[in-house]
Amino acid sequence: MAKTMTTTAGNPIGDNQNSLSAGSRGPLLMQDYQLLEKLAHQNRERIPERVVHAKGSGAYGTLTITEDISKYTKAQVLQKGEKTPMLARFSTVAGEKGAADAERDVRGFALKFYTKEGNWDLVGNNTPVFFVKDPMKFPDFIHTQKRDPRTNLRNSTAMWDFWSLSPESLHQVTILMSDRGIPKSLRHMNGYGSHTYSLINEAGERFWVKFHFKTMQGIETLTNKEAEAIVGKDRESNQKDLYESIENSNFPKWSFEIQIMTDEQAKSTSFNPFDLTKVWPHKEFPMIKVGEMELNRNPQHYFAEIEQSAFSPSNVVPGISWSPDKMLQARVFSYADAHRYRIGTHYEALPVNRPLVEVNTYHADGPMRLDQPVGTDAYYEPNSFNGPIEDKQYVEPPFPVNGDGYRYDHHEDTQDHYSQVKALFHLMSDSQKEQLFNNIAEAMDGVPQDIQKRQIALFDTVDSDYAAGVKKALGI
Ligand code: NDP
Protein backbone atom coordinates (compact mmCIF):
# COMPACT_ATOMS: atom_id res chain seq x y z
CA MET A 1 0.00 0.00 0.00
CA ALA A 2 1.27 3.49 -0.85
CA LYS A 3 2.42 5.62 2.08
CA THR A 4 0.43 8.67 3.14
CA MET A 5 1.77 11.87 1.68
CA THR A 6 2.84 14.53 4.21
CA THR A 7 4.06 18.10 4.44
CA THR A 8 7.79 18.54 5.06
CA ALA A 9 6.92 18.65 8.75
CA GLY A 10 5.31 15.21 8.48
CA ASN A 11 1.68 16.34 8.71
CA PRO A 12 -0.62 14.03 6.68
CA ILE A 13 -2.11 15.53 3.51
CA GLY A 14 -5.79 15.01 2.65
CA ASP A 15 -5.95 16.50 -0.85
CA ASN A 16 -3.05 17.05 -3.24
CA GLN A 17 -5.19 17.81 -6.33
CA ASN A 18 -7.33 20.85 -5.40
CA SER A 19 -6.28 24.16 -3.88
CA LEU A 20 -8.27 25.70 -1.05
CA SER A 21 -10.59 28.41 -2.39
CA ALA A 22 -13.42 30.66 -1.19
CA GLY A 23 -16.16 29.31 -3.40
CA SER A 24 -15.52 26.94 -6.30
CA ARG A 25 -14.27 29.74 -8.59
CA GLY A 26 -11.78 31.23 -6.07
CA PRO A 27 -9.98 33.33 -4.92
CA LEU A 28 -7.56 31.19 -2.88
CA LEU A 29 -7.14 31.18 0.85
CA MET A 30 -3.83 32.25 2.37
CA GLN A 31 -3.95 29.34 4.80
CA ASP A 32 -3.42 26.75 2.05
CA TYR A 33 0.04 26.08 3.43
CA GLN A 34 0.51 23.00 1.30
CA LEU A 35 0.06 25.01 -1.93
CA LEU A 36 2.38 27.75 -0.63
CA GLU A 37 4.99 25.16 0.32
CA LYS A 38 4.81 23.52 -3.12
CA LEU A 39 5.28 26.85 -4.91
CA ALA A 40 8.04 27.94 -2.54
CA HIS A 41 9.91 24.68 -3.09
CA GLN A 42 9.54 25.01 -6.84
CA ASN A 43 11.21 28.41 -6.63
CA ARG A 44 14.16 26.87 -4.82
CA GLU A 45 14.76 23.77 -6.96
CA ARG A 46 18.01 25.06 -8.44
CA ILE A 47 21.39 25.85 -6.94
CA PRO A 48 23.98 27.88 -8.85
CA GLU A 49 25.44 25.70 -11.57
CA ARG A 50 29.18 25.12 -11.47
CA VAL A 51 31.04 28.07 -13.05
CA VAL A 52 33.02 25.47 -15.02
CA HIS A 53 32.15 21.80 -15.60
CA ALA A 54 28.42 22.54 -15.24
CA LYS A 55 27.25 19.74 -17.56
CA GLY A 56 28.07 16.37 -16.09
CA SER A 57 27.23 12.71 -15.66
CA GLY A 58 28.17 10.46 -12.79
CA ALA A 59 28.17 6.93 -11.47
CA TYR A 60 29.45 4.89 -8.55
CA GLY A 61 32.01 2.11 -8.73
CA THR A 62 34.98 0.38 -7.18
CA LEU A 63 38.72 0.97 -7.22
CA THR A 64 40.61 -2.31 -6.87
CA ILE A 65 44.36 -2.35 -6.19
CA THR A 66 46.01 -5.37 -7.80
CA GLU A 67 49.72 -4.51 -7.41
CA ASP A 68 52.02 -3.81 -4.48
CA ILE A 69 53.18 -0.17 -4.50
CA SER A 70 53.79 0.01 -0.73
CA LYS A 71 57.40 1.08 -1.35
CA TYR A 72 55.95 4.37 -2.62
CA THR A 73 52.94 4.93 -0.37
CA LYS A 74 51.42 3.98 2.94
CA ALA A 75 47.93 5.11 1.81
CA GLN A 76 45.55 2.32 2.71
CA VAL A 77 43.45 2.94 -0.42
CA LEU A 78 46.51 2.07 -2.54
CA GLN A 79 47.52 -1.18 -0.81
CA LYS A 80 47.34 -4.42 -2.80
CA GLY A 81 43.97 -6.16 -2.45
CA GLU A 82 42.15 -3.02 -1.27
CA LYS A 83 38.70 -2.38 -2.77
CA THR A 84 37.33 1.12 -2.29
CA PRO A 85 33.85 2.40 -3.16
CA MET A 86 33.97 5.50 -5.33
CA LEU A 87 32.04 8.07 -7.33
CA ALA A 88 33.01 9.46 -10.75
CA ARG A 89 31.68 12.62 -12.36
CA PHE A 90 32.51 13.41 -15.98
CA SER A 91 31.77 16.77 -17.54
CA THR A 92 32.44 19.26 -20.28
CA VAL A 93 34.17 22.47 -19.18
CA ALA A 94 32.61 25.43 -20.92
CA GLY A 95 28.98 24.60 -21.65
CA GLU A 96 26.20 25.45 -19.23
CA LYS A 97 24.17 22.80 -17.44
CA GLY A 98 21.92 22.29 -20.47
CA ALA A 99 24.73 22.17 -23.04
CA ALA A 100 24.99 19.27 -25.47
CA ASP A 101 27.34 16.43 -24.54
CA ALA A 102 29.00 15.82 -27.92
CA GLU A 103 30.88 19.12 -28.00
CA ARG A 104 34.56 19.75 -28.63
CA ASP A 105 35.86 20.42 -25.14
CA VAL A 106 38.11 19.00 -22.47
CA ARG A 107 36.25 16.48 -20.27
CA GLY A 108 36.40 16.69 -16.49
CA PHE A 109 37.29 13.35 -14.90
CA ALA A 110 36.55 13.79 -11.18
CA LEU A 111 36.87 10.88 -8.78
CA LYS A 112 35.95 10.56 -5.11
CA PHE A 113 37.24 7.52 -3.24
CA TYR A 114 35.44 6.81 0.06
CA THR A 115 38.54 5.36 1.80
CA LYS A 116 39.00 4.05 5.36
CA GLU A 117 41.10 7.17 6.01
CA GLY A 118 38.56 9.71 4.77
CA ASN A 119 37.78 10.83 1.24
CA TRP A 120 40.46 11.07 -1.43
CA ASP A 121 39.40 13.19 -4.42
CA LEU A 122 41.31 13.16 -7.68
CA VAL A 123 39.92 15.96 -9.81
CA GLY A 124 41.43 15.47 -13.25
CA ASN A 125 40.64 15.75 -16.94
CA ASN A 126 40.71 13.48 -19.99
CA THR A 127 43.93 15.27 -20.97
CA PRO A 128 47.27 15.05 -19.17
CA VAL A 129 48.00 18.79 -19.42
CA PHE A 130 46.19 22.14 -19.16
CA PHE A 131 46.02 25.48 -20.99
CA VAL A 132 47.79 27.59 -18.35
CA LYS A 133 50.34 26.92 -15.67
CA ASP A 134 50.00 29.96 -13.41
CA PRO A 135 46.65 30.28 -11.60
CA MET A 136 46.80 34.04 -12.01
CA LYS A 137 45.68 33.36 -15.61
CA PHE A 138 42.96 30.83 -14.71
CA PRO A 139 39.92 33.14 -14.41
CA ASP A 140 40.93 35.02 -17.59
CA PHE A 141 41.28 31.78 -19.50
CA ILE A 142 37.84 30.61 -18.35
CA HIS A 143 36.31 33.96 -19.39
CA THR A 144 37.50 33.27 -22.96
CA GLN A 145 35.63 29.94 -22.94
CA LYS A 146 32.38 31.40 -21.63
CA ARG A 147 30.00 33.90 -23.20
CA ASP A 148 31.00 37.35 -24.42
CA PRO A 149 29.44 39.80 -21.93
CA ARG A 150 28.07 42.05 -24.70
CA THR A 151 26.81 39.61 -27.32
CA ASN A 152 26.09 36.72 -24.92
CA LEU A 153 27.65 34.47 -27.59
CA ARG A 154 30.65 32.15 -27.41
CA ASN A 155 33.58 34.10 -28.82
CA SER A 156 36.25 32.29 -30.84
CA THR A 157 38.21 35.54 -31.25
CA ALA A 158 38.62 35.72 -27.46
CA MET A 159 39.76 32.09 -27.33
CA TRP A 160 42.41 32.40 -30.05
CA ASP A 161 43.46 35.86 -28.87
CA PHE A 162 44.21 34.45 -25.40
CA TRP A 163 45.82 31.24 -26.69
CA SER A 164 48.00 33.02 -29.24
CA LEU A 165 49.24 35.32 -26.45
CA SER A 166 49.84 32.34 -24.11
CA PRO A 167 52.23 29.91 -25.81
CA GLU A 168 52.09 27.54 -22.82
CA SER A 169 48.54 26.66 -24.00
CA LEU A 170 49.81 25.05 -27.25
CA HIS A 171 50.02 21.53 -25.83
CA GLN A 172 46.44 21.48 -24.57
CA VAL A 173 45.11 23.36 -27.62
CA THR A 174 46.65 20.67 -29.84
CA ILE A 175 44.98 17.88 -27.85
CA LEU A 176 41.66 19.74 -27.80
CA MET A 177 41.72 20.28 -31.57
CA SER A 178 42.86 16.70 -32.27
CA ASP A 179 40.54 13.74 -32.81
CA ARG A 180 40.54 13.23 -29.02
CA GLY A 181 38.81 16.62 -28.57
CA ILE A 182 35.38 14.92 -28.88
CA PRO A 183 35.34 11.53 -27.12
CA LYS A 184 32.72 9.14 -28.54
CA SER A 185 31.51 8.48 -25.01
CA LEU A 186 32.65 8.94 -21.44
CA ARG A 187 33.60 5.25 -21.45
CA HIS A 188 35.97 5.71 -24.37
CA MET A 189 38.41 8.22 -22.93
CA ASN A 190 41.38 8.20 -20.56
CA GLY A 191 41.49 10.09 -17.29
CA TYR A 192 44.56 11.85 -15.92
CA GLY A 193 45.20 13.32 -12.47
CA SER A 194 47.07 15.87 -14.63
CA HIS A 195 48.88 17.57 -11.73
CA THR A 196 51.95 16.12 -10.11
CA TYR A 197 51.06 14.86 -6.62
CA SER A 198 53.22 13.09 -4.04
CA LEU A 199 53.15 9.65 -2.44
CA ILE A 200 54.66 9.11 1.00
CA ASN A 201 55.71 5.68 2.29
CA GLU A 202 55.89 4.27 5.85
CA ALA A 203 59.49 5.45 6.15
CA GLY A 204 58.38 9.02 5.43
CA GLU A 205 60.01 9.15 1.98
CA ARG A 206 58.23 11.31 -0.58
CA PHE A 207 57.94 10.43 -4.28
CA TRP A 208 56.43 12.63 -6.97
CA VAL A 209 53.60 10.89 -8.85
CA LYS A 210 51.31 11.23 -11.89
CA PHE A 211 48.01 9.32 -11.88
CA HIS A 212 46.58 7.78 -15.09
CA PHE A 213 43.29 5.96 -15.77
CA LYS A 214 43.44 4.31 -19.18
CA THR A 215 40.15 3.30 -20.73
CA MET A 216 39.81 -0.46 -21.18
CA GLN A 217 37.05 0.16 -23.75
CA GLY A 218 39.69 1.71 -26.07
CA ILE A 219 39.93 5.33 -27.21
CA GLU A 220 37.07 6.21 -29.57
CA THR A 221 36.34 9.67 -30.86
CA LEU A 222 33.90 11.64 -33.02
CA THR A 223 34.62 13.95 -35.94
CA ASN A 224 32.97 17.38 -35.98
CA LYS A 225 30.46 16.10 -38.55
CA GLU A 226 29.58 13.00 -36.54
CA ALA A 227 29.18 15.10 -33.41
CA GLU A 228 26.96 17.64 -35.20
CA ALA A 229 24.66 14.86 -36.38
CA ILE A 230 24.42 13.48 -32.83
CA VAL A 231 23.79 16.87 -31.21
CA GLY A 232 21.06 17.55 -33.78
CA LYS A 233 19.13 14.59 -32.41
CA ASP A 234 20.38 14.05 -28.87
CA ARG A 235 21.97 16.58 -26.54
CA GLU A 236 22.46 13.98 -23.80
CA SER A 237 24.42 11.37 -25.77
CA ASN A 238 27.10 10.85 -23.11
CA GLN A 239 24.67 10.76 -20.19
CA LYS A 240 22.51 8.24 -22.06
CA ASP A 241 25.45 6.04 -23.01
CA LEU A 242 26.87 5.93 -19.48
CA TYR A 243 23.50 5.40 -17.79
CA GLU A 244 22.38 2.67 -20.19
CA SER A 245 25.72 0.86 -20.18
CA ILE A 246 25.60 0.57 -16.42
CA GLU A 247 21.88 -0.36 -16.36
CA ASN A 248 22.72 -3.13 -18.86
CA SER A 249 25.59 -4.37 -16.64
CA ASN A 250 28.10 -3.34 -19.29
CA PHE A 251 30.38 -1.84 -16.65
CA PRO A 252 33.11 0.48 -17.97
CA LYS A 253 36.64 -0.07 -16.66
CA TRP A 254 39.88 1.84 -16.55
CA SER A 255 43.39 0.55 -15.88
CA PHE A 256 44.86 2.55 -12.98
CA GLU A 257 48.54 3.34 -13.53
CA ILE A 258 51.12 5.74 -12.09
CA GLN A 259 54.43 7.32 -12.99
CA ILE A 260 56.97 7.90 -10.22
CA MET A 261 59.79 10.46 -9.97
CA THR A 262 62.22 10.86 -7.06
CA ASP A 263 63.09 14.32 -5.78
CA GLU A 264 66.66 13.77 -7.05
CA GLN A 265 65.29 13.09 -10.55
CA ALA A 266 63.00 16.13 -10.29
CA LYS A 267 66.08 18.35 -9.93
CA SER A 268 67.56 17.18 -13.21
CA THR A 269 64.66 16.77 -15.67
CA SER A 270 64.83 18.82 -18.86
CA PHE A 271 61.34 20.14 -18.04
CA ASN A 272 59.71 21.41 -14.84
CA PRO A 273 57.91 18.32 -13.48
CA PHE A 274 55.47 20.59 -11.59
CA ASP A 275 54.39 22.44 -14.74
CA LEU A 276 50.80 21.51 -15.65
CA THR A 277 51.45 22.13 -19.35
CA LYS A 278 53.97 19.25 -19.48
CA VAL A 279 53.73 15.46 -19.33
CA TRP A 280 56.38 13.13 -17.98
CA PRO A 281 57.67 11.17 -21.02
CA HIS A 282 56.90 7.48 -20.63
CA LYS A 283 60.37 6.39 -21.73
CA GLU A 284 61.98 8.27 -18.85
CA PHE A 285 59.20 7.61 -16.34
CA PRO A 286 57.54 4.31 -17.26
CA MET A 287 53.95 3.53 -16.39
CA ILE A 288 53.47 1.33 -13.32
CA LYS A 289 50.27 -0.73 -13.11
CA VAL A 290 48.36 -0.26 -9.84
CA GLY A 291 44.86 -1.63 -10.32
CA GLU A 292 41.49 -1.14 -11.98
CA MET A 293 38.54 1.17 -11.66
CA GLU A 294 35.05 -0.04 -12.58
CA LEU A 295 31.80 1.93 -12.66
CA ASN A 296 28.89 -0.32 -11.78
CA ARG A 297 26.03 1.61 -10.15
CA ASN A 298 23.89 4.48 -11.37
CA PRO A 299 22.80 7.18 -8.93
CA GLN A 300 19.13 7.08 -7.93
CA HIS A 301 18.67 10.85 -7.79
CA TYR A 302 20.72 13.02 -10.16
CA PHE A 303 20.41 16.24 -8.18
CA ALA A 304 21.13 14.76 -4.75
CA GLU A 305 24.01 12.59 -5.85
CA ILE A 306 25.64 14.19 -8.90
CA GLU A 307 24.66 17.88 -8.92
CA GLN A 308 25.45 18.08 -5.20
CA SER A 309 28.61 15.98 -5.45
CA ALA A 310 31.60 18.13 -4.61
CA PHE A 311 35.13 17.15 -5.63
CA SER A 312 38.22 18.99 -4.47
CA PRO A 313 41.94 18.24 -4.68
CA SER A 314 42.08 19.45 -1.06
CA ASN A 315 40.82 15.99 -0.04
CA VAL A 316 43.90 13.79 0.39
CA VAL A 317 44.62 10.87 2.73
CA PRO A 318 47.79 9.98 4.67
CA GLY A 319 50.33 8.72 2.11
CA ILE A 320 49.03 10.95 -0.73
CA SER A 321 49.78 14.67 -0.88
CA TRP A 322 50.34 17.67 -3.11
CA SER A 323 53.30 19.06 -5.04
CA PRO A 324 54.61 22.58 -5.72
CA ASP A 325 52.50 22.72 -8.96
CA LYS A 326 51.14 26.29 -8.77
CA MET A 327 47.84 25.33 -10.42
CA LEU A 328 47.31 22.52 -7.92
CA GLN A 329 48.11 24.84 -5.02
CA ALA A 330 45.41 27.25 -6.25
CA ARG A 331 42.85 24.51 -6.83
CA VAL A 332 43.34 23.19 -3.29
CA PHE A 333 41.76 26.48 -2.21
CA SER A 334 39.40 27.33 -5.02
CA TYR A 335 37.58 24.02 -5.52
CA ALA A 336 36.51 23.64 -1.89
CA ASP A 337 35.62 27.32 -1.88
CA ALA A 338 33.47 26.91 -5.01
CA HIS A 339 31.41 24.25 -3.21
CA ARG A 340 30.99 26.38 -0.08
CA TYR A 341 29.45 29.02 -2.34
CA ARG A 342 27.52 26.68 -4.65
CA ILE A 343 26.11 24.22 -2.11
CA GLY A 344 26.78 25.71 1.30
CA THR A 345 29.21 25.78 4.19
CA HIS A 346 28.45 22.22 5.29
CA TYR A 347 28.46 20.62 1.82
CA GLU A 348 30.73 17.78 2.98
CA ALA A 349 27.97 16.55 5.30
CA LEU A 350 25.61 15.70 2.42
CA PRO A 351 25.21 11.93 1.90
CA VAL A 352 27.09 11.87 -1.44
CA ASN A 353 30.04 13.83 -0.05
CA ARG A 354 30.14 12.38 3.47
CA PRO A 355 33.14 10.14 4.16
CA LEU A 356 32.60 6.62 5.51
CA VAL A 357 34.70 7.47 8.56
CA GLU A 358 33.60 9.58 11.52
CA VAL A 359 34.17 13.31 11.04
CA ASN A 360 35.53 15.24 14.06
CA THR A 361 36.03 18.95 13.53
CA TYR A 362 35.46 22.07 15.61
CA HIS A 363 33.89 23.97 12.71
CA ALA A 364 30.89 25.76 14.15
CA ASP A 365 27.57 26.95 12.82
CA GLY A 366 26.41 28.36 9.48
CA PRO A 367 23.59 27.77 7.04
CA MET A 368 22.27 24.19 6.84
CA ARG A 369 24.24 22.36 9.50
CA LEU A 370 23.21 18.98 8.10
CA ASP A 371 24.86 16.64 10.55
CA GLN A 372 23.77 16.15 14.17
CA PRO A 373 26.53 17.55 16.36
CA VAL A 374 26.60 15.98 19.82
CA GLY A 375 26.17 18.66 22.49
CA THR A 376 29.44 18.78 24.41
CA ASP A 377 31.53 21.07 26.58
CA ALA A 378 34.41 20.46 24.16
CA TYR A 379 33.38 22.92 21.46
CA TYR A 380 36.82 24.59 21.23
CA GLU A 381 40.35 23.26 21.16
CA PRO A 382 42.49 22.77 23.24
CA ASN A 383 40.01 21.78 25.95
CA SER A 384 39.87 19.77 29.18
CA PHE A 385 36.70 17.87 28.20
CA ASN A 386 38.02 14.98 26.12
CA GLY A 387 37.33 16.58 22.73
CA PRO A 388 38.99 15.17 19.57
CA ILE A 389 42.71 15.89 19.39
CA GLU A 390 45.43 15.85 16.76
CA ASP A 391 47.57 12.76 16.19
CA LYS A 392 51.21 13.50 15.37
CA GLN A 393 51.60 10.30 13.32
CA TYR A 394 49.74 12.12 10.53
CA VAL A 395 52.15 15.06 10.30
CA GLU A 396 53.65 14.97 6.82
CA PRO A 397 57.42 14.78 6.35
CA PRO A 398 58.95 18.16 5.34
CA PHE A 399 57.89 19.40 1.93
CA PRO A 400 60.95 20.40 -0.13
CA VAL A 401 60.85 24.06 -1.22
CA ASN A 402 63.51 26.61 -2.07
CA GLY A 403 63.93 30.12 -3.38
CA ASP A 404 62.91 33.65 -2.49
CA GLY A 405 59.29 34.79 -2.51
CA TYR A 406 58.82 36.64 -5.82
CA ARG A 407 56.40 36.91 -8.76
CA TYR A 408 58.49 34.72 -11.08
CA ASP A 409 57.64 35.12 -14.77
CA HIS A 410 56.04 31.79 -15.64
CA HIS A 411 57.42 32.06 -19.19
CA GLU A 412 60.97 32.35 -17.92
CA ASP A 413 60.76 29.04 -16.06
CA THR A 414 61.06 27.42 -19.48
CA GLN A 415 60.91 28.90 -22.94
CA ASP A 416 60.13 25.45 -24.28
CA HIS A 417 56.40 25.32 -24.89
CA TYR A 418 57.01 23.37 -28.07
CA SER A 419 59.02 20.13 -27.88
CA GLN A 420 56.33 18.03 -26.14
CA VAL A 421 53.77 19.36 -28.61
CA LYS A 422 56.09 18.30 -31.43
CA ALA A 423 56.35 14.81 -29.88
CA LEU A 424 52.54 14.60 -29.87
CA PHE A 425 52.27 15.91 -33.44
CA HIS A 426 54.67 13.18 -34.56
CA LEU A 427 52.56 10.51 -32.81
CA MET A 428 49.60 11.45 -35.00
CA SER A 429 48.80 9.52 -38.17
CA ASP A 430 48.30 11.48 -41.40
CA SER A 431 44.54 11.28 -41.00
CA GLN A 432 44.76 12.51 -37.38
CA LYS A 433 46.91 15.43 -38.56
CA GLU A 434 44.36 16.22 -41.27
CA GLN A 435 41.58 16.26 -38.65
CA LEU A 436 43.72 18.52 -36.43
CA PHE A 437 44.25 21.06 -39.25
CA ASN A 438 40.58 21.07 -40.23
CA ASN A 439 39.32 21.28 -36.65
CA ILE A 440 41.59 24.27 -36.02
CA ALA A 441 40.48 25.95 -39.25
CA GLU A 442 36.80 25.46 -38.32
CA ALA A 443 37.40 26.76 -34.79
CA MET A 444 39.21 29.82 -36.19
CA ASP A 445 36.36 30.74 -38.47
CA GLY A 446 35.71 34.48 -38.21
CA VAL A 447 38.81 35.19 -36.11
CA PRO A 448 40.74 38.30 -37.29
CA GLN A 449 43.72 37.40 -39.49
CA ASP A 450 46.34 39.03 -37.24
CA ILE A 451 45.28 36.70 -34.41
CA GLN A 452 45.22 33.70 -36.77
CA LYS A 453 48.73 34.58 -37.95
CA ARG A 454 50.04 34.98 -34.40
CA GLN A 455 48.72 31.50 -33.57
CA ILE A 456 50.12 30.01 -36.79
CA ALA A 457 53.55 31.41 -35.83
CA LEU A 458 53.29 29.34 -32.63
CA PHE A 459 52.36 26.22 -34.64
CA ASP A 460 55.37 26.96 -36.86
CA THR A 461 57.68 26.93 -33.84
CA VAL A 462 56.34 23.47 -33.01
CA ASP A 463 56.75 22.12 -36.54
CA SER A 464 56.62 23.79 -39.94
CA ASP A 465 54.30 20.99 -41.16
CA TYR A 466 51.85 21.89 -38.38
CA ALA A 467 51.72 25.54 -39.48
CA ALA A 468 51.56 24.61 -43.18
CA GLY A 469 48.66 22.22 -42.58
CA VAL A 470 46.64 24.82 -40.67
CA LYS A 471 47.36 27.51 -43.29
CA LYS A 472 46.21 25.22 -46.08
CA ALA A 473 43.01 24.33 -44.19
CA LEU A 474 42.37 28.03 -43.61
CA GLY A 475 43.10 28.84 -47.27
CA ILE A 476 45.82 31.34 -46.30
P1 NDP B 1 54.74 7.81 -25.66
O2 NDP B 1 54.69 7.46 -27.10
O3 NDP B 1 55.38 6.86 -24.73
O4 NDP B 1 53.27 8.11 -25.09
C5 NDP B 1 52.33 8.66 -25.91
C6 NDP B 1 51.04 8.81 -25.17
O7 NDP B 1 50.27 9.64 -25.98
C8 NDP B 1 50.28 7.54 -24.94
O9 NDP B 1 49.83 7.55 -23.60
C10 NDP B 1 49.10 7.61 -25.89
O11 NDP B 1 47.92 7.24 -25.26
C12 NDP B 1 48.99 9.10 -26.14
N13 NDP B 1 48.60 9.39 -27.52
C14 NDP B 1 48.86 8.70 -28.63
N15 NDP B 1 48.31 9.31 -29.68
C16 NDP B 1 47.70 10.42 -29.22
C17 NDP B 1 46.94 11.43 -29.81
N18 NDP B 1 46.71 11.45 -31.12
N19 NDP B 1 46.46 12.41 -29.04
C20 NDP B 1 46.69 12.41 -27.72
N21 NDP B 1 47.40 11.45 -27.08
C22 NDP B 1 47.89 10.47 -27.84
O23 NDP B 1 55.44 9.21 -25.63
P24 NDP B 1 55.71 10.28 -24.49
O25 NDP B 1 55.41 9.80 -23.14
O26 NDP B 1 57.09 10.80 -24.72
O27 NDP B 1 54.68 11.40 -24.89
C28 NDP B 1 54.69 11.98 -26.19
C29 NDP B 1 53.54 12.91 -26.27
O30 NDP B 1 52.35 12.17 -26.08
C31 NDP B 1 53.56 13.95 -25.16
O32 NDP B 1 54.29 15.08 -25.49
C33 NDP B 1 52.11 14.22 -24.97
O34 NDP B 1 51.70 15.24 -25.85
C35 NDP B 1 51.41 12.93 -25.36
N36 NDP B 1 50.95 12.20 -24.17
C37 NDP B 1 51.84 11.81 -23.22
C38 NDP B 1 51.39 11.27 -22.04
C39 NDP B 1 52.35 10.97 -20.94
O40 NDP B 1 51.90 10.87 -19.79
N41 NDP B 1 53.63 10.80 -21.21
C42 NDP B 1 49.96 11.02 -21.81
C43 NDP B 1 49.13 11.36 -22.94
C44 NDP B 1 49.62 11.96 -24.04
P45 NDP B 1 47.15 5.87 -25.68
O46 NDP B 1 47.92 4.78 -25.06
O47 NDP B 1 45.84 6.07 -25.11
O48 NDP B 1 47.11 5.84 -27.18
pLDDT digits (tens, 9 = 90+) for 7-17: 999 999 999 99
d(CA 54, CA 109): 13
- Please tell me the predicted confidence (pLDDT) of residue 415: 78
Domains of the chain, residue spans: 56-145+183-354, 419-474
Among residues of the chain, what percentage have pLDDT more than 90?
95
| CA 433 to ligand 1 center in whole angstroms | 15
The residue whose CA is least distant from atom 41 of ligand 1 is 281
Residue 400 pLDDT level (bands cut at 50, 70, 90): confident
Closest atom of ligand 1 relative to the 212 alpha carbon: 40
Query: Which residue's CA is the nearest one to ligand 1's atom 1?
Result: 282
Q: With b meaning 16 or more CB within 10 Å and e meaning fewer, what string describes 77-94? A: bbeeebebebbbbbbbbb
Fold of 56-145+183-354: Catalase HpII,  Chain A, domain 1 (2.40.180)
Lowest mean pLDDT among 281-295, 365-379, 448-462: 365-379
* Pocket lined around ligand 1, Cβ cut-off 6 Å: 128, 175, 178, 180, 190, 219, 279-283, 420, 423-424, 427-428, 432
Over the chain, what is the mean pLDDT?
96
- Cross-strand bridge partners of residue 88: 59, 111
- Compute the distance from residue 421 Cα to the ligand 1 centre, in Å: 10
Give 308-328 pLDDT, tens digit per residue.
999 999 999 999 999 999 999
Atom index in ligand 1 nearest the CA of residue 219 equals: 47
pTM: 0.96
Confidence band (pLDDT; 50, 70, 90) for 370?
confident
Catalytically active residues are 53, 125
- Ligand 1 mean position, distance from CA 424 (Å): 6
Measure the CA angle with vertex 89, ends 85 and 93; round to 5°. 160
Residue nearest to atom 29 of ligand 1 (CA): 424
